[in-house]
Amino acid sequence: MSNVAKIELDGTVYEFPVVVGSENEKAIDISKLRDTTGYVTLDTGYKNTGATTSKITFLDGEEGILRYRGYPIEQLAEKASFLEVAYLLIYGELPTQAQLDEFKTSIQKHTLVHEDMKQFFEAYPAKAHPMGVLSSMICSLSTFYPESLDPNRSAEAKNLTIHRLLAKLPTLAAWSYKNAMRHPFMYPRNEFDYCKNFLYMMFAMPTEDYNVDPVVVEALNKLLILHADHEQKSTVRIVGSSQANLYATISAGISALWGPLHGGANQEVIEMLEKIHQDGGDVDKWVAKAKDKEDPFRLMGFGHRVYKNFDPRAKIIKKACDDILSKLGINDPMLEIAKKLEKVALEDEYFKARNLYPNVDFYSGIIYKALGIPTEMFTVMFALGRLPGWIAQWKEMTENKEPIGRPRQIYTGETPRDYVEISKR
Ligand SMILES: CC(C)(COP(=O)(O)OP(=O)(O)OC[C@H]1O[C@@H](n2cnc3c(N)ncnc32)[C@H](O)[C@@H]1OP(=O)(O)O)[C@@H](O)C(=O)NCCC(=O)NCCS
């Protein structure tokens, strides 16, 4: 294999190094392209652009492989706890028992948020989408910890910010729901583990005892692990590369997740299944709509930017979905419609030709629904899971001292022209 790529431009041949990753992925290093040739590359949507090298997550979209720090997602989802996976992503290795205990204790110490923040919630309308509330609240944390604005603070101080974020996101996420319900906030219970504590803050009421169902805790643990990282998170790395503080950076990541083509898809899936159900459950009709180019409707939860074979998380989640619903004794007509839809779509030429398979969001919404999580909270749940991945991406980027992210463009607008007085336009 050649370790240089040759590009001929205007009669001159230029050589660029080829970089090979540990899984034999190859890239042409064009970091000197503009300096040496005057050209830039054009890649809308970054489908062919590697923005960095990274040791965190390996993803092979053709083979349907996902590994965090080398460990297959299937093994982690089966055996690990969410905080163990968070530690792995952020610090690079699975923790020993002593390291995990220390990590948990430190996170448990920081679960409370400043009392003044409670007042912010009151200012939001009851119908506020919890993602809007969460992203603002996370950014607001920077105002309570102004020392986090210093990009040159010690590694220990940066680590404290990481633990604070991991500790406070579940509290703020649960409170964004309580606020929408106009229910009293439940303070965290530090003797509970991470997932149990979140469920307690979501569903308990001060007037009654609340027992968190271990089946629900286990299901949430699995879902959060499946969402914990997905290699490049360009928003977090780009915002972080400006040396914005970690709270602002994660808030940007939350905003980028919100859209229906990304993390918002799990909410869209359930809304779509409900619509199909209310419409009489004619799955073929909706598949036809998705194929019709004149119709903007897409099958939500189908297709993925990188998985062009199958999404390994979807396989795990489909099985988990069956298990959890049967353990909880739930018979959800949405699951039946989802299964029918999957079958029809997978046998259809349109979907086969375009490699459109169910993605992780297709089944996660059904599980969240079974756990009692309201639809508008689904994307918040995604954010809760993705937090360790965002932190790991930010930590790697800052430790590698990566330059500020600033893509180029090819300008296609007007060439110079003179200002025209308003009376003459
Ligand atoms: C995820 C997604 C944005 C990936 O987009 P992408 O890689 O840029 O792929 P494109 O949008 O270029 O789609 C390629 C082709 O498949 C079609 N397609 C993609 N997803 C489709 C879907 N869910 N339903 C129907 N058609 C779909 C497109 O219309 C396009 O068809 P064409 O080649 O005839 O024009 C896209 O598949 C999608 O919108 N899915 C639904 C939303 C979703 O579930 N998002 C969660 C992602 S985890």
What distance in Å separates the CA atoms of residue 103 and residue 346, rounded to the nearest whole number? 43
Which among 199, 131, 213, 137 has a CA at the least distance from the CA of 168? 137
Question: Based on the number of CB atoms within 10 Å of its own CB, is 234 exposed (0-12), middle (13-18) or buried (19 or more)?
Answer: middle
Residue 113 CB less than 6 A away from ligand 1: no
* Report field, pTM of the whole predicted structure over 0.75: yes
Residue 13 CA to its chain's centroid (Å): 41
Domains located in the chain, CATH noted? 4-67 (2.20.28)
Ligand 1 pocket member 378 (CB < 6 A): no
- Answer whether 308 contacts ligand 1 (Cβ < 6 A): no
Spacing, Cα 379 to ligand 1 middle (Å): 19
Distance CA 337, CA 323 (A): 17
Q: Is 204 in the pocket of ligand 1 (CB under 6 A)?
A: no
Residue located via tokens 């360009």? 234
Partnered with residue 9 across adjacent β-strands are 12
Catalytic residues: 304, 361
The answer to whether 135 and 251 are in contact (CB under 8 A) is yes
**Tokens standing for residue 17:** 């190094």
| Closest ligand 1 atom, residue 360 Cα | 48
- Catalogue the E-assigned strands of 52-136: 57-60, 65-68, 71-72
Q: How far is the CA of 309 from the centre of ligand 1 (A)?
A: 13
Residue 64 CB coordination number (10 Å): 17
* Contact status, residue 173 vs residue 179, Cβ threshold 8 Å: no
Name which residue sits closest to atom 30 of ligand 1, judged by CA.
354
Q: How far apart are CA 327 and CA 349, in angstroms?
A: 36
Q: Which residue has the tokens 């053709």?
A: 62
For 278, the token pair is 């209310």
- How would you write the pLDDT of the chain (425 residues) with one tens digit per residue? 668 999 999 999 999 999 999 999 999 999 999 999 999 999 998 889 998 999 999 999 888 899 999 999 999 999 999 999 999 999 999 999 999 999 999 999 999 999 999 999 989 988 899 999 999 999 999 999 999 999 999 999 999 999 999 999 999 999 999 998 899 999 999 999 999 999 999 999 999 999 999 999 999 999 999 999 998 767 999 999 999 999 999 999 999 998 877 777 888 898 999 999 999 989 999 999 999 999 999 999 888 888 877 889 988 988 888 888 888 888 888 888 988 888 888 899 999 898 888 888 888 888 888 888 998 899 999 999 999 999 999 999 999 999 898 889 999 999 999 999 999 99
